[in-house]
Amino acid sequence: MGYYIGVEPGVNIYVEDINPGGGKTIFFIHGWPASHKMFEYQFNQLPKMGYRCIGMDMRGFGKSDKPWSGYDYNRLADDVRCVVEALKLEGITLGGHSTGGAVAIRYVARHNAFGVAKLALFAAAAPSLIKRPYFPYGLNREDVINIIQDTYSDRPKMLQGFGDMFFFQYVTQPFSEWFFQLGLEAASWSTAAVANTWLDEEGLFSDLGKIFVPTLILHGIHDRVCRFPLAEAQKEGIKNSKLIPFEYSGHGLFYDQCDKFNKELAQFAGA
CA-based nearest residue to 146, from 135, 137, 134, 155:
155
Secondary structure (3-state) at 121: strand
98 is catalytic: yes
CA-based nearest residue to 84, from 40, 119, 54:
54
190 is catalytic: no
Point out the catalytic residue in the list 65, 207, 223, 256: 223
In 40-192, beta strands by DSSP E: 52-56, 92-97, 116-122
Q: Please give the torsion angle defined by the CA atoms of residues 110, 112, 114 and 120, in that order, rounded to the nearest 10 degrees.
A: 80
Separation CA 258–CA 249 (nearest Å):
10
> How is residue 138 annotated by DSSP?
S
Find the helix or strand (DSSP H, E) in which 244 lies. Answer: strand 241-246
Point out the catalytic residue in the list 30, 97, 219, 251: 251
Point out the catalytic residue in the list 98, 128, 190, 241: 98
What proportions of the chain, in percent to the nearest 5, are helix, strand and coil?
45, 20, 35
| Residues marked as catalytic | 98, 223, 251
